Structure 1
Amino acid sequence: MTGYFYPFPDNVSADDPEAMRIYMESIPAMAAVLLLAGYAVGAFFGGLVASAISKRARQAVIVGIVLTVANIANVVTIPHPLWLSVVSTIVFLPFAWLGGKAAKRNTATIY
């Protein structure tokens, strides 16, 4: 969704680390907020689905850990502004956990 509102410029190559660093430092704040919102929504629904399938809330935490590790690899590979690196690393676990809690609450009333 972020790419729809803020498309990647044609003059920046994803293979050039310096160009990517400059681009990431220049992205508008709203693009970063949309990115974080997408991370949060993805983690929430990932935790929700994992917990609904397994009937255990702890599976949501595993989803959060996997997403956090993937995000750390992303942040190391593509330079991000410091605040975005920190917040994007923190966002996955709590939202995946919330998704797991929501699945547990909803499946308890169904069964």
Structure 2
Amino acid sequence: MLKRILAVIGGIVAGSLTVAAVEMLGHYLYPLPAGMKSDDMEAMKEYIPNAPFMALFFVIIAYALAALVVGFVSTKIANDGKNKYAIIGGVIFVIITIINLAMLPTPVWFWVLGIAVWGLVLAGYKLALNKNKE
């Protein structure tokens, strides 16, 4: 039982670190306007409608890579061949994503992709299974 709980937690931690790392790269390549901080919600609400496409798309890339990582790591830790740990991690991230999307004025395409990419946890799960067969 503990191993299964750790599988979900490990996947969430690894996914969170992945999101943070890719978003940091996105902020490096597409920096926020001078003096603006990413934790200033009012400034972010003004910035997002005018942000460069790639600045927003880096968030989607971060979510997609994180979904793969969540699926892979949770499956490796559980080591029982079941996809439920990947799915649980993905559902938790979908909920967090929806909360974040509701707080900011993001375009429709961002909502669609931002939620859909979490399905990639199943691809991460499959990758982890393929590695187990070697």
| d(CA) in 2 for partners of 1:30, 1:16 | 20
Q: Is the 8 A contact 1:60 1:97 kept in 2?
A: yes
Match of 1:68 in 2: 94
- Name the CA distance, whole Å, in 1 between partners of 2:55 and 2:32: 11
TM-score by length of 2: 0.71
CA distance in 2, matches of 1:36, 1:15: 20
Quick check: 1:95 aligned with 2:130? no
1:38 matches 2:42: no
SS of structure 1 residue aligned to 2:127: helix
AA at the equivalent of 1:32: L
Q: Report how far residue 9 of structure 1 moved.
A: 1.9
* TM-score computed with the length of structure 1 as normaliser: 0.84
How far is the alpha carbon of 1:16 from its aligned partner?
4.8
Q: Distance in 2 between matches of 1:21 and 1:71?
A: 16
Q: Helix, strand or coil: the match of 1:80?
A: coil
CA shift for structure 1 position 20: 2.4
Distance 1:37 1:15, change over 3 A: closer
Aligned residue type for 2:58? L
Q: Distance in 2 between matches of 1:27 and 1:80?
A: 10
Percent of residue pairs identical: 28
Match of residue 29 from structure 2:
5
Tell me: CA distance 1:16–1:71, structure 2 relative to 1, closer, same or farther (3 Å). closer
User: Which string of whole-angstrom CA distances, capped at 9 and with x for unpartnered residues, describes residues 76-105 of structure 1?
Assistant: 12221221122101111x211110111112
> Counterpart of 2:50?
26
1:56-80: CA deviation from partner (whole Å, max 9, x where unpaired): 2221111111110000010112221
For the aligned residues, what is the CA RMSD? 1.7
Q: Match of 1:7, SS?
A: coil
Tell me how far apart the structure 1 counterparts of residues 112 and 122 of structure 2 sit (CA, whole Å): 19
| 1:79 counterpart SS class | coil
Answering whether residue 106 of structure 2 is matched by residue 80 of structure 1, we say: yes
Q: Count residues in correspondence.
A: 107
